[in-house]
Amino acid sequence: MPVTVVVGAQWGDEGKAKIIDLLSKEHTFVVRYQGGHNAGHTVVVEGERYALQLVPSGVLYDHVVPMIANGVVVDLPTLFDEIDTLERRGISCDRLQVSSRAHLVFPWHQAHDAIAEAMRGDDKIGTTLKGIGPSYADKARRVGVRVGEVVDVDRFADTVRARAIAENRLIEQAGGDPLDVDEIVTRFTDYGRRLQPYVSDTVTVLHEAVDRGAHVLLEGAQATFLDLDHGTYPFVTSSNPTAGGACAGTGLGPRLIDRVVGITKAYTTRVGAGPFPAELLDADGDALIDVGKEFGTVTGRRRRAGWLDCVMLRHAVRLNSLTELALTKLDVLDGFETVKVCTGYRLDGVPIDRYPDRSDILARVEPVYETLPGWQTDLSRIREPGELPVQAKDFLALIEAQVGVPVNVVGVGAERDDFLLWTA
């Protein structure tokens, strides 16, 4: 069966885009299935850095049809900005298809996102303020505007006006500044017209492709522990990045999927608030952030960092039916004398063997670490597993033993070719 899912196994920014770029060589469709422009997916090709928010990471290959499927929320200013930037750099987006069933993001969603965060005071989620949560909320309360509506642009303009007026009332009630309705209607009508050639019944297109034997790659944004149901609620995003979300978000049934690749860094990061058992607030944490350049692609925020957490990864295997892991940023650990791996949690001093179902419990667990000698060798030029220092091999073997699935790809640098295929 020809469908592969790529999903973040931690809290995002694992290097999904780099692995998707690698897997794109053998896939014809690369399909975003959830999230929106809260994502920041980076691919580096011969020093050229491409930071993608909505356009799928397979776009850099001519043979790939990039697709934005029904589960995504689409911010048109960002989408067109991204298309223009890519085309200026010689990357054609003509093949891009956007699902008629995907929902649109509007300026009132960003206004509501900001108001909701301000109202939370000290309990802020630390959202990207892109309007993602409010857009999915509108979808759930059945007042969202779908991409397919732009085919009748006059009706679309009327809908946008009606929605803007209604939302302005709510924004004013919440103490916010009203939005300029006419400006929004004019601008989004233009965007709507520009979107028309990209609009597609992606569900049917994907099924016909699968029937022909085409290989389809489903690109997750965010990650398992930011999942609305399975993440560290309420410190999560408003969609389902877990592999089940790839089915709902594309219309492809679960029996079509034969490969689910979980992406993990060699350590852990998180941006925004929420529990993080293995977080380091010491010099090692600072070193991970400095060496790993752990600053958000979208918001520029400093990420939080800690050692690799295998308790999380074991749970990610269950939640996503992971068949394998791709491990990125092993090179970031090059300078450490010793490296640690979290292999278990204790609660009130007692080991626990289940992943906590409540964020307040997760916030109280203490990590149990296994300490390994570091390799203190530059890994960036290594391309063969046999050339890895024994300490790095032991680190990978420990992860495989702890997590129970193989690590198939190991990243040793940001560039497209900075990886090796790992076999123990």
Catalytic positions, written as ranges: 13, 41
**Residue 107, interface with ligand IMO (CB under 6 A)?**
no
For residue 206, which of 259, 244, 146, 252 has the smallest C-alpha distance? 252
**Residue 320, interface with ligand IMO (CB under 6 A)?**
no
Q: Which does 226 bind (CB under 5 to 8 A by kind): ligand GDP, ligand IMO, Mg ion, none?
A: ligand IMO
For residue 403, which of 306, 320, 339 has the smallest C-alpha distance? 320
Question: Taking the CA atoms of the chain, what radius of gyration do you get in angstroms?
Answer: 22
Q: Which does 340 bind (CB under 5 to 8 A by kind): ligand IMO, ligand GDP, Mg ion, none?
A: none
Cα 137 from chain centre = 19
Is 189 or 222 the residue whose CB approaches ligand GDP more closely? 222
Q: Which does 18 bind (CB under 5 to 8 A by kind): ligand GDP, Mg ion, ligand IMO, none?
A: ligand GDP
Q: Decide: 24 and 30 in contact? Cβ < 8 Å.
A: yes
What x/- string results for residues 186 through 225 when contact with ligand IMO is judged by CB under 6 A? Answer: -----------------------------------xxx--
Is 111 or 414 the residue whose CB approaches ligand GDP more closely? 414
For residue 77, give the amino acid letter.
Answer: P
Q: Which of 150, 218, 226, 379 binds ligand IMO (CB under 6 A)?
A: 226
For β-strands 29-32 and 3-8, DSSP reports them as unpaired
CB atoms inside a 10 Å sphere around CB 191: 19
Q: Which does 412 bind (CB under 5 to 8 A by kind): Mg ion, ligand GDP, ligand IMO, none?
A: ligand GDP
Is 53 or 97 the residue whose CB approaches Mg ion more closely? 53
Q: Distance from first CA to last CA of the chain, Å, rounded?
A: 26
Q: Which does 230 bind (CB under 5 to 8 A by kind): ligand IMO, Mg ion, ligand GDP, none?
A: none
To ligand IMO, the closest distance from the beta carbon of 301 in angstroms equals 7
**Which residues have a Cβ under 8 Å from the Cβ of 318 and sit 6 or more positions away?**
none
Q: Give φ, ψ of 20 to 5 degrees.
A: -65, -40
Is 41 or 139 the residue whose CB approaches Mg ion more closely? 41
Quote the tokens at residue 147. 């991409």
Is 40 or 344 the residue whose CB approaches ligand GDP more closely? 40
| Interatomic CA distance for residues 131 and 127, integer angstroms | 9
Cis peptide before 197 (omega within 30 of 0): no
Can you tell me whether residue 370 is helix, strand or coil?
strand
Q: Which of 15, 71, 133, 192 binds ligand IMO (CB under 6 A)?
A: 133
For ligand IMO, the binding residues (CB under 6 A) are 8, 12-13, 38-41, 125-128, 130, 132-133, 221-223, 226, 235, 237-238, 271-272
